[in-house]
Amino acid sequence: MGKLYIVPTPIGNLEDITLRAIRVLKEVALILAEDTRTSGKLLHHFEIHTPMQSHHMHNEHKTVAHIVSRLKNGMEDIALISDAGTPAISDPGFLLTRACLENGIEVECLPGATAFVPALVNSGLPNDRFVFEGFLPVKKGRQTRLKLLAEESRTMIFYESPHKLLKTLVHFAEYFGEDRLISVSRELTKLYEETCRGTVREVLDHYTEKPPKGEIVIVVAGKK
């Protein structure tokens, strides 16, 4: 059987890819990419000429069976990457990993870049215990989730898009309180990286005056 490699890619700065990741991407027979155009730029930069195939949230249910069959019936290895960071962390990857393991196919995940770790560490908030929430529900279930999280004592980590940040901060003020400490990191590892720390109200005021851009990680202190 072949092996499935889960390969993290840089979240911004291309120097954050590992030497091992480059080697694996060059050696496998196929790379499954969330967006082949985005990943094509990365592969071109590191002179990786391995063929790519699209594998994203809109087609993964249809492609998993074929990929598993290819791995079971051949000696070729396949790598899975996302646009940025570690696959399966708020990105496609779980369905394929589970299917491979259910079929006795070896899965190996390389260590590497993921956005929430640096955001948590540089937040200044307790990181001995934390809970990763990813993206909150857009509509259905959002209120219920926030009510539950209002009682969470561990540090909480969220992903958010820039055009929804203010709405999310307003909800945090409502459910967690305006004085709850938070840290908002955006554009991590990139040229205009920024981390804004303070109370929910202070950070909300900051981004009301200065609309945010780029990918965002929010770290929220747990309830005392």
Please list the rounded mean pLDDT of every run of 10 residues in the chain (224 residues): 96 96 98 95 97 91 93 92 95 95 97 96 97 93 95 98 96 98 97 96 97 95 96
pTM, rounded to two decimals = 0.92
Contact 43, 111 (CB under 8 A): no
CA distance to 20, 31, 133, 137, per residue, from 110 (Å): 8, 14, 22, 29
CA separation for the pair 219, 154 (Å, rounded): 11
Return the pLDDT at 138. 87
Read off the amino acid at residue 218: I
d(CA 164, CA 90): 16
Q: What is the pLDDT of residue 126?
A: 97
The Cα–Cα gap between 183 and 167 comes to 16
Strand spans (E) along 28-186: 30-33, 52-54, 78-81, 107-109, 130-134, 155-160, 181-186
Q: Which residues contact 92 (CB under 8 A, 6 or more apart)?
A: 34, 55, 56, 57, 60, 80, 82
User: For residues 197 and 159, is the Cβ–Cβ distance under 8 A?
Assistant: no
pLDDT of residue 188: 96
